[in-house]
Amino acid sequence: MTDPSAGTGIDGPVLVAIDGPAGSGKSSVSKQAARRLGFGYLDTGAAYRALAWNALERGLDTSDAVAVIEAAGDFDFAISLDPDTYWVRVGAVDVTEAIREPRVTEAVSGVARVAAIRTSANALFRALVAGSGRPGVIVEGRDITTVVAPDAPVRILLTAAPEVRAARRSAELTTQDAAAVAAALHRRDASDSTVVDFLTAAPGVTVVDSTALDFEQTVDAVLDVIRAGIPVQTSQTGASDVL
């Protein structure tokens, strides 16, 4: 495809930042949009989850900032930026599935709350984008639009009504009942809100509310915002699903 950074005044990969609350569809929508564009995909939350997993495996208390920093001392983290071959590793261990366990979900906010961890993680995210080898990277996670990539040419806040987010998350986690999922989502929102404001769009950030949209409609809405923010030509193949 044509390099989306051509003619935009942007050096290196184009960065698309997508923020939003838990259950808003950031991961699935971002991954599909990246496929459609031929971009890389970076799930920043995976880094915090992997560190939380590392701390828990070592028997550390993730609510203790000193313990979290200790867990980060020998944290060997790697992640794929390929939306079609997604994996997360800590050392030689594939933790792609393990970091989605409920115990990790409950612990991750404690890890993300540590300022020193966020600073080092943000530097890591920028380095991963710069070395991606892709024409662009869709980066999703909390405070991406305001802290990690405030100068990104496209910044999106993807959101939905709380009851819709809970229903979608419940459908993904077939082993848990809807009430339990809704309660967990509420706790996660409350915990995360002490770290970042994930419900209010910062100046220059476009809101995509998927409350009344299905998955493909949400992906299309996000792609429309990206196309409007990065004026480029279509590829020589004439494909309609690329910038």
What pLDDT score does 208 carry?
95
Tell whether 127 is in a known binding site. Answer: no
What pLDDT score does 171 carry?
64
Closest C-alpha to 79, from 113, 127, 33 = 127
Q: In angstroms, rounded to a whole number, what is the distance separating the alpha carbons of residues 51 and 198?
A: 21
Residues in the chain, total: 243
Is the CA virtual torsion 193, 196, 200, 205 positive or negative?
negative
Q: Give the number of other Cβ atoms within 10 Å of residue 83's Cβ.
A: 21
Q: In angstroms, rounded to a whole number, what is the distance separating the alpha carbons of residues 122 and 117?
A: 9
Residue with the two structure tokens 């967990």: 184
Tell whether 5 is in a known binding site. Answer: no
Q: In angstroms, rounded to a whole number, what is the distance separating the alpha carbons of residues 84 and 228?
A: 25
Q: In angstroms, rounded to a whole number, what is the distance separating the alpha carbons of residues 56 and 103?
A: 9
DSSP string computed for 17-42: EEE--TTS-HHHHHHHHHHHHT-EEE
Tell whether 23 is in a known binding site. Answer: yes
Tell whether 24 is in a known binding site. Answer: yes
What pLDDT score does 25 carry?
85
What pLDDT score does 52 carry?
96
Tell whether 45 is in a known binding site. Answer: no
What pLDDT score does 179 carry?
60
Q: Give the number of other Cβ atoms within 10 Å of residue 67's Cβ.
A: 18
What pLDDT score does 187 carry?
65
Residues in the chain predicted with pLDDT less than 50, given as ranges, are 1-10, 174, 194-195, 232-242
Radius of gyration of the chain (CA): 18
Q: In angstroms, rounded to a whole number, what is the distance separating the alpha carbons of residues 69 and 66?
A: 5
Tell whether 25 is in a known binding site. Answer: yes
Q: In angstroms, rounded to a whole number, what is the distance separating the alpha carbons of residues 100 and 126?
A: 24
Q: In angstroms, rounded to a whole number, what is the distance separating the alpha carbons of residues 228 and 235?
A: 16
What pLDDT score does 183 carry?
64
Phi then psi dihedrals of residue 216, to 5 deg: -65, -35
Q: In angstroms, rounded to a whole number, what is the distance separating the alpha carbons of residues 15 and 151?
A: 9
Tell whether 12 is in a known binding site. Answer: no
- For domain 15-227, the CATH class is alpha beta
What pLDDT score does 43 carry?
93
